[in-house]
Amino acid sequence: MKADNIRNVIRYLQKFKNATVVIYLDDKTIESPLFSSHIRDIALLHEAGIKVVIIPGARSRIDQLLTAGKISWEYKDGCRVTDSDAMPVIKMAAFDVSNIVMTSLAANGINAIIGNWVRSRAKGIIEGFDFGTAGEIDRLNTEALRKILDDGFIPIFPCIGWNMSGRPYNISSATLAQEVAISLSADKLFYVMESRTINNSYYNIPESFALAENGDLPAMNLEEVDEFLAANKDAEPDVISVLEKAKEACRRGVTRVHIVDGNLDGVLPCEIFSELGSGTMIYTSNYGKIRAMTQTDIPSVLGIMRPFVEKGNLLERTEAQLAGQLSDFVVYEIDGGVHACAALHFYDDGQAEIAAVAVDENFRHMGIGLKLVEHLTGTAKSRCAKGIFIMTTQAADWFEALKFKEDSIDSIPAERRAIWNKKRNSKVYRLR
C-alpha cells in the first residue's frame, strides 16, 4: 500500500500544480501549538507549485484588545457590533494576527503580502437594528490578487474592508474566505477550525450517509448538505454557518470545500494529497464517477481484486482475461485514481451476471459498491436482460440487502454452469 500512497501523492502533485487554494485559519488554530506546523505545511504546498491565499481569523485577538480598552461590543446574527471608536482597535488586532501569519511564513522562507484588496460597505440598519462598524464585502480586487499569486507571493487578508472614501469596516473572515475563493474560482477552499470534526457522536447524521469507521463524515454533496442542515438545526452555529458558506461556494464555482480540524497535525497535505483526507469535503456531483474500464486501468483493477481473491471472495483473474472482457467492466474513479470495479456479463439466453464487484478497503465506507451494482443493474435492464444474477461465497447478506434472493444453480445459463466450481460452491442470488 505504500507504493499506492506514493502514486497518489504524485498524481495529486500533477493535478494541483498551479491550482489556487484559499485557506481560512480560525483564531484558535492560530493560537494553538500546531500553528507553526500548519504554516510549515502551507509553505510546502506553496513550494510544490500551489497558489495559496490565507485568511486568518482574529476574533480572539479583537476580544482581547477591546476588553483591554474597556470597549463594549455585542454579537448580532453572527456579526460583531461596536461603535465607531472601536474600529482603530479592531484594525490593530486584525493586522496583528495577519503579521503573525506573515512572520511565520517568512521563517519558512516564503514571501507574503498583507493587503487592502477588499472594498466594503456598511451592513447598515436592518429591521431597526444598527450594525455599526460591521461591514459587507462590496468587491474584491481580483486582478491585483492574481498578479500577486503569479509573482509567487502569498496574499494575507486581514478581516477589514474599506469603502470608497477610505472608511474601514469589520468583516467576517469566514465570509471573506468564501468570497475570495469564489472570486478566484479556487480549486479548493479550506476552513481550518479547531475541534470541528463532523462525527456522528456530535451531530445527527442521516442513515443514508456514508461514514468512516470512526464515525466521521468524510464527504457530502450539495444535496446532502441540505439534508444535514435540516437534521442539525440546533447544532453549533459556527459549523452550520461554514457549511452554508461551503455550499454556496461550490454552487458558485469553487471545486471543493474542506472543513478540517486544526488540532490534527498535517491535516492540509493529507486532505489535498489523498482521496480520503481527514476532514469533511463538500463537493458538487463530479467527485467520483463510474466509467468504462480501459487497458491502462487493468493493473489497478488487479490490485483492487487481489485481497478479495486471497480471502476467497473473488475468482482470480489474469491480465489477459481482463483485457479480453474489457467491455464488460466498469471502474469507479476518484481524481484520476481507480478504487473499485465490477463487471456485467451477458449470456446467449439473455441473462446478465453482475460479477467481480470489488472496492478498495479504504473506500468501502463510501457506498461505492452499491453505486456500481445499481449502475450495472440499470444497464442490464436498459438492454432488456431476461434476468440478473450474481454468484457469491461470502457476500450473501450484502446482496440480500440489495433485494437479491437465493436461487438454484440450475437457473443460470448453461455456459455459466459449465465453469461453476463445486469446490468453491458459490451460491446464486437473483434480483427479483
pTM of the model: 0.76
* Backbone phi and psi for residue 190, each to the nearest 5 degrees, phi listed first: -110, 135
pLDDT digits (tens, 9 = 90+) for 224-254: 999 999 999 888 888 899 999 999 999 999 9
The confidence band for 78, taking pLDDT boundaries of 50, 70 and 90, is confident
| Partners of 292 in the β-ladder | 330
Which grid cell sits at 120?
466594503
Residue 396 has pLDDT above 80, yes or no: yes
Packed helices 222-231 and 237-251: angle between N→C axes, nearest 10 degrees: 160
Q: Which three cell numbers stand for residue 404?
A: 437479491
Mean pLDDT on 372-386: 94
Say what the pLDDT of residue 285 is.
Answer: 64
Average of pLDDT values for 58-73?
95
Residues in the chain: 432
Spatial CA neighbour of 163 closest among 122, 126, 133: 122
Compute the distance between CA of residue 53 and CA of residue 301 in angstroms, rounded to an integer: 38
Nearest to 24 by CA among 217, 279, 362, 314: 279
Q: Is the pLDDT of residue 14 over 70?
A: no
For residue range 85-118, list pLDDT tens digits in order: 999 999 999 999 999 999 999 999 999 999 999 9
Residue 248's pLDDT is: 95
Using 50, 70 and 90 to split pLDDT, how confident is the model at 39?
A: very high
Helix 59-68 / helix 87-107 crossing angle, nearest 10 deg: 130
- How far apart, in Å, are the Cα atoms of 325 and each of 16, 328, 346, 418? 34, 5, 11, 18
The set of long-range contacts for 292-296, using a CB threshold of 8 Å and a minimum separation of 24, is 292/327, 292/329, 292/330, 292/331, 293/322, 293/326, 293/329, 293/330, 293/331, 293/341, 294/326, 295/323, 295/326
Distance CA 399, CA 190 (A): 38
Q: What is the DSSP string of 325-352?
A: TGGGEEEEEETTEEEEEEEEEE-TTSEE
CA dist., res. 113 & res. 155, Å (int): 5
For the sheet containing 288-292, what is the strand order?
288-292, 329-334, 337-346, 351-359, 387-392, 427-431, 404-407
CA distance 335 to 19: 14
For residues 273-312, one letter each, b for 16 or more C-beta atoms within 10 angstroms of the residue's C-beta and e for the rest, the string is bbbbbbbbbbbeeebbebeebeeebbebbbebbeebeeee
As a whole number, mean pLDDT of residues 156-166 equals 95
183: pLDDT strictly greater than 80: yes
Least confidently predicted of 2-6, 233-237, 401-405, 423-427: 2-6
Q: Which of 53, 63, 66, 58 is nearest to 29 (CA)?
A: 58
The per-residue pLDDT for 131 is 94
- Give dist(CA 260, CA 250) in Å, integer: 17
Three-class SS state of 219: strand
Whether residue 305 is predicted with pLDDT greater than 90 in this model: the reply is yes
Q: Any residues with CB less than 8 A from the CB of 252 and at least 6 apart, and which?
A: 182
